[in-house]
């Protein structure tokens, strides 16, 4: 019995098909059949039933499957620890991110990572999501922070959700929390002219049968916040993009919540150094960024 035979058995049992397992493992179907036959012969039992509807574990096979999965997981942990020891003695992790994530999410993670692995160099480039995608394609960066979803050319992991909020100018009174569509319908907005956020807001208004009155379209989120603080209108922004919020500016939740999903992305089907995956582990511990409106 060896690891490869167990991997084949687990794959067939999970997928329910010899041919599908062969495709996933990138081997011939005959190789899969030989591995299963050798394993069953060595153990002296039948692990799978074969039929017109596929291959499925026998009752004993179900119990063996649990043990085999644990063995494979243990092997993965061993490989991870070995690669970690080999690969984290130097090198670098190259990051790229859109502004609000680069400002509010990455600095504490970078600080923790550098404290734990001082020999690893970490670099950060700030740009818009499309430019971050292009940098990933070109191999200029290892990890990109981008709104999700992205195309299948990237492997992605959700690391948090960022609520869209309404920013109201100072002095406005008697605004409910959450704000109502009726109140919003009487307002003119300074719209975030930032492709993905703009379309998300417009689609949300349309989905709920509302009309969005736009007075200004501005690309920089800090400019929008400043304009709201000067009483030039209200705005709808992801909370992280609105920070820091000036004194006097009121924040309200939308009548129906709207969030953007923030994710970490790497180029798919590429061999990444161990330091990249360690940093991804740190990012996945970031959590969600929901706060109550104030």
Both structure tokens of 74: 């243990």
Closest-CA residue to 218 (of 251, 243, 249, 241): 241
pLDDT, position 15 = 92
Q: Which of left, alpha, beta for 213 (phi over 0: left; psi -120 to 50: alpha)?
A: beta
- HSE, side-chain direction, 13 A CA sphere, residue 194: 24
Average pLDDT, stretch 253-276?
92
Confidence band for 285, pLDDT divided at 50, 70 and 90? low
d(Cα 146, Cα 155) in Å, to the nearest integer? 12
pLDDT tens-digit map of 154-172: 999 999 999 999 999 998 7
More confident residue, 286 or 219: 219
* Arithmetic mean of pLDDT over the chain: 89
Closest-CA residue to 142 (of 91, 182, 192, 191): 91
d(Cα 118, Cα 113) in Å, to the nearest integer? 8
pLDDT tens-digit map of 29-80: 999 999 999 999 999 999 999 988 889 999 999 999 999 999 999 988 887 6
Q: What are the structural domains of the chain?
A: 3-87 (1.10.10.10), 92-160+261-284 (3.40.190.10), 162-260 (3.40.190.10)
d(Cα 154, Cα 107) in Å, to the nearest integer? 24
Average pLDDT, stretch 3-25?
92
The per-residue b/e assignment along 252-288, b for 16 or more CB within 10 angstroms, e otherwise, is: bbbbeebbbebbbbbbeeeebbbbbbbbbebbeebee
What pairs with residue 117 in β-bridges? none
d(Cα 189, Cα 224) in Å, to the nearest integer? 10
pLDDT, position 224 = 96
d(Cα 184, Cα 132) in Å, to the nearest integer? 34
d(Cα 172, Cα 113) in Å, to the nearest integer? 44
pLDDT, position 76 = 81
Q: Which of 82-91, 259-268, 279-288 has the highest mean pLDDT?
A: 259-268
Closest-CA residue to 11 (of 39, 42, 51): 39
Say whether pLDDT at 291 is over 60.
Answer: no
pLDDT tens-digit map of 78-126: 876 776 666 666 778 999 999 999 999 999 999 999 988 888 899 999 9
Q: What sign does the CA torsion over 172, 178, 184, 190 have?
A: positive
pLDDT tens-digit map of 188-213: 999 988 768 888 999 999 999 999 99
Confidence band for 294, pLDDT divided at 50, 70 and 90? very low
Say whether pLDDT at 255 is over 90.
Answer: yes
More confident residue, 283 or 164: 164
Residues 178, 252 contacting (CB under 8 angstroms): yes
Average pLDDT, stretch 245-254?
94
Say whether pLDDT at 269 is over 90.
Answer: no
Average pLDDT, stretch 173-181?
85
């Amino acid at each position: 019995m060896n690891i490869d035979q167990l991997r084949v058995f687990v794959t067939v049992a999970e997928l329910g098909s010899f041919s599908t397992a062969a495709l996933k493992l990138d081997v011939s179907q005959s190789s899969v059949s030989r591995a299963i036959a050798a394993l069953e012969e060595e153990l002296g039992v039948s692990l799978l039933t074969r039929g017109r509807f596929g291959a499925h574990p026998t009752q004993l096979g179900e119990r063996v499957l649990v043990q085999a999965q644990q063995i494979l997981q243990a092997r993965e942990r061993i490989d991870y620890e070995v690669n970690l020891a080999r690969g984290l003695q130097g090198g670098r992790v190259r990051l790229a991110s859109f502004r609000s994530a680069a400002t509010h999410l990455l600095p504490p993670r970078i600080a923790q990572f550098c404290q734990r692995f001082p020999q690893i160099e970490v670099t950060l480039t700030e740009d818009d999501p499309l430019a971050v995608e292009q940098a990933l394609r070109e191999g200029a960066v290892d990890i990109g922070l981008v709104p999700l979803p992205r195309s299948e050319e990237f492997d992605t992991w959700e690391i948090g959700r960022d609520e869209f909020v309404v920013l109201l100018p100072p002095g406005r009174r008697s605004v409910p929390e959450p704000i109502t569509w009726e109140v919003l319908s009487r307002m003119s907005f300074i719209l975030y002219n930032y492709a993905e956020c703009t379309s998300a807001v417009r689609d949300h208004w349309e989905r709920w049968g509302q009309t969005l009155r736009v007075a200004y379209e501005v690309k920089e989120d800090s400019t929008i916040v400043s304009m709201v603080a000067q009483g030039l209108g209200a705005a709808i922004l992801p909370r992280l993009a609105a920070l820091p919020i000036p004194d006097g500016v009121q924040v309200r939740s939308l009548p129906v919540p709207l969030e953007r999903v923030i994710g970490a992305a790497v180029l798919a089907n590429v061999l990444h150094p161990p330091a990249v995956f360690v940093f991804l582990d740190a990012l996945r511990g970031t959590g969600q960024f929901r706060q109550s409106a104030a």
